[in-house]
């Protein structure tokens, strides 16, 4: 049985691996010249610039995602870095009781609790409740270790899910807490400001930071040495070893549909590739409204397309620097206020800078040197995408001018940075859109709504269309690599069930 997969990102490669393990014949079609999708990096003059992988949920056995990754990758072969501090945030308007303006978000929960109590003893109650919440998270299987898709289980096996009811009740109680609502409970002005700045001034569900911290404390959210390409490369090698095929530089124009059944792909070259089942691990908007011409939608899909139900996740203007210095005594991840606010050509105003110093990964730079990346997030990606299409010269001018302003501000923080910079690489939302085809240059699919544990409105199977499955980071708001592998595995279980093939995890 032949299955075509669109996209050689983490989701497409994972689906390909599971399908090959279960005896299907698969081919992945990738419009780019390499694998990984958004999980990628690129080389410039001896430096490797990372797209954004900072940690992996499931890097250790304390998190159930480790079991999923281990089905496809030899996790023991990967060296992970576990940072002692998740991020350091320089607070603008207040200091702690010791006169320090920098808030340290420690990854060890005992150390974090001691630190928070030392700087804000008056907030002992909410601090202890916060740490207690994270310790409760550690006691639950998130996600459950029962890895079969619930709807595919017989009734007598579904009963086993009853044991997860306490976890659901617990998550339901804390789902509405945001960094702002938690900050409002605090009396200490320094701590209050720090929590409001956890997401660079935006209000987001607090679980987005507390859940990773809970598992970071147990060495379950480490950074893989080698970064995105190193990690995704493990999946590509596994897929090829299993007998899968990848056609790079091969764009897909349409998904061929006959009698509401996906029957193959029409490539950009005009070639028609038949298949029994089609999987798209490509962009949501491209898949539904280009490749399928908007024919298989419902009211929810149309609301999503208008961004009435969820907003598309931020895109990024990212300046990456190859620097002839290691900056070993600097924090690896810091956010600090700017002396002068920056206004992007797209109209977004920034009062802070987020700087990532990658000196903990020796594979990204020559000895004694490092890579520094500075990211600015925007919801106005269309400005950059349209400008590049309509006026490429002005696009380059605006891009370089804004990048130089960013570098000037960074140099004020790290004195001598400009002098030691050997390579400058600038990526805009148009860059992310051009290389990955992600709608509006999004780097994570959808922004999470206020109810972070709500059922995702994005369906894997589309209304009225058979033998088609949609997978990847667009399927669950917030996206990320865990969503990619989980959605791929779930889809393959559905395929096996429909084609009466027992689902197995084994090498061919």
Residue 155 pLDDT = 61
Look at residues 400, 415, 441 and tell me which one is the last residue of a structural domain.
441
What distance in Å separates the CA atoms of residue 115 and residue 109, rounded to the nearest whole number? 10
Same domain for 348 and 408, yes or no, is yes
> Tens digit of pLDDT for each residue in 256-275?
999 999 999 999 999 999 99
Contacts with 466 (C-beta within 8 Å, 6 or more apart), sequence order: 260, 261, 262
Look at residues 418, 441, 464 and tell me which one is the last residue of a structural domain.
441
Same domain for 128 and 211, yes or no, is yes
Residue 508 pLDDT = 47
> Tens digit of pLDDT for each residue in 296-321?
999 999 999 998 888 999 999 999 99
* Greatest alpha-carbon span in the chain: 71
Same domain for 437 and 319, yes or no, is yes
Same domain for 190 and 172, yes or no, is yes
Q: Please give the helix or strand (H or E) that residue 316 lies within, else none.
A: strand 315-323
pLDDT at 500 over 90: yes
Contact, 84 vs 108, CB < 8 A?
yes
Structural domain contains residue 29: yes
CA distances from 197 to 91, 190, 204, 309, 353 (A): 8, 11, 10, 25, 12
Same domain for 401 and 486, yes or no, is no
Structural domain contains residue 60: no
Structural domain contains residue 62: no
Contact, 105 vs 85, CB < 8 A?
yes
Same domain for 154 and 209, yes or no, is yes
- CA-based nearest residue to 202, from 354, 331, 399, 54: 354
Q: Considering only 111-115, 399-403, 420-424, 445-449, which range has the smallest mean pLDDT?
A: 445-449
- Expressed as residue numbers, the domain containing 208 is 99-218
Same domain for 291 and 355, yes or no, is no
Residue 387 pLDDT = 98
Beta strands in 390-481 (DSSP E): 421-427, 468-470
Structural domain contains residue 503: no
What is the average per-residue pLDDT within 404-412?
95
Joined together, the tokens standing for residue 377 give 């997030």
Q: Residue 69 in 3-state DSSP?
A: helix
Per-residue confidence band for 367, with pLDDT thresholds at 50, 70 and 90: very high
> Tens digit of pLDDT for each residue in 101-133?
999 999 999 999 999 999 999 999 999 999 999
Radius of gyration in angstroms for the set of CA atoms belonging to the chain, rounded to a whole number: 23
- CA-based nearest residue to 105, from 77, 79, 123, 86: 86
Structural domain contains residue 450: yes
> Tens digit of pLDDT for each residue in 80-94?
999 999 999 999 889
Q: Choose between 148 and 352: higher pLDDT.
A: 352
Same domain for 327 and 251, yes or no, is no
CA 197, 203, 206, 210 dihedral sign is negative
| Number of domains observed in the structure of the chain | 3
Residue 157 pLDDT = 63
Structural domain contains residue 137: yes
**What is the CB neighbour count within 10 angstroms for residue 485?**
26
CATH code of 487's domain: 3.50.50.60
Residue 478 pLDDT = 86
> Tens digit of pLDDT for each residue in 137-189?
898 877 776 567 767 766 666 666 676 677 778 788 888 899 999 999 999 99
Residue 166 pLDDT = 79
Same domain for 340 and 425, yes or no, is yes
Look at residues 202, 218, 234 and tell me which one is the last residue of a structural domain.
218
Structural domain contains residue 89: no
Structural domain contains residue 114: yes
């Amino acid at each position: 049985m032949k299955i075509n997969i669109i996209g050689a990102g983490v989701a497409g490669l994972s689906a390909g691996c599971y399908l090959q393990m279960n005896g299907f014949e698969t081919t992945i079609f990738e419009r780019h010249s390499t694998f990984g999708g958004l999980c990628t990096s690129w080389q410039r003059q001896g430096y490797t610039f990372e797209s954004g992988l900072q940690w992996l949920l499931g890097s250790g056995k304390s998190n159930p995602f480790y079991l999923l990754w281990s089905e496809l990758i030899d996790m023991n072969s990967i060296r992970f870095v576990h940072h002692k501090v998740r991020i350091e945030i320089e607070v603008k308007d207040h200091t702690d009781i010791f006169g320090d303006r920098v808030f340290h978000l420690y990854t060890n929960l005992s150390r974090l609790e001691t630190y928070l109590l030392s700087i804000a003893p008056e907030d002992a109650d909410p601090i202890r409740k916060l740490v207690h919440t994270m310790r409760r998270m550690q006691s639950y299987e998130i996600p459950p270790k029962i890895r079969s898709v619930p709807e595919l289980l017989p009734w007598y096996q579904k009963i086993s899910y009853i044991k997860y009811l306490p976890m659901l009740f617990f998550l339901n109680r804390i789902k509405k807490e945001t960094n702002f609502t938690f900050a409002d409970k605090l009396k200490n002005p320094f701590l209050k400001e720090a929590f409001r700045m956890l997401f660079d001034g935006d209000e987001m569900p607090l679980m987005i930071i507390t859940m990773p911290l809970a598992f970071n404390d147990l060495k379950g959210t480490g950074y893989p040495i080698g970064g995105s390409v190193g990690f995704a490369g493990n999946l590509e090698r596994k897929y090829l070893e299993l007998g899968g095929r990848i056609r790079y530089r091969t764009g897909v124009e349409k998904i061929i549909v006959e009698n509401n059944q996906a029957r193959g792909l029409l490539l950009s070259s005009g070639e028609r590739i038949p298949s029994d089942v089609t999987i798209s691990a490509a962009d949501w908007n491209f898949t539904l409204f280009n490749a399928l011409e908007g024919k298989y939608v419902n009211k929810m899909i149309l609301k999503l397309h208008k961004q009435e139900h969820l907003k598309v996740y931020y895109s990024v203007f990212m300046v990456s620097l190859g620097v002839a210095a290691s900056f070993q005594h600097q924090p690896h991840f810091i956010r600090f206020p700017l002396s002068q606010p920056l206004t992007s050509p797209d109209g977004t105003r920034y009062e802070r800078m987020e700087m990532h110093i990658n000196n903990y990964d020796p594979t990204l730079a020559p000895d004694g040197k490092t890579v520094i990346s500075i990211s600015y997030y925007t919801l106005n990606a269309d400005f950059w995408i349209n400008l590049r299409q309509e006026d490429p010269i002005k696009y380059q001018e605006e891009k370089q001018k804004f990048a130089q302003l960013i570098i000037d501000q960074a140099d004020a923080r790290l004195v001598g940075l400009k002098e030691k910079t050997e390579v400058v690489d600038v990526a805009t939302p148009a860059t992310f859109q051009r290389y990955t085809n992600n709608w509006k240059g999004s780097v994570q699919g959808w922004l999470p709504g206020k109810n972070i544990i709500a059922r995702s409105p994005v369906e894997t199977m589309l209304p009225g269309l058979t033998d088609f499955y949609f997978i990847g980071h667009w399927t669950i708001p917030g996206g990320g690599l865990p969503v990619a592998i989980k959605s791929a595995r779930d889809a393959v279980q559905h395929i096996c069930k429909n084609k009466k093939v027992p689902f197995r995890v084994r090498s061919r």
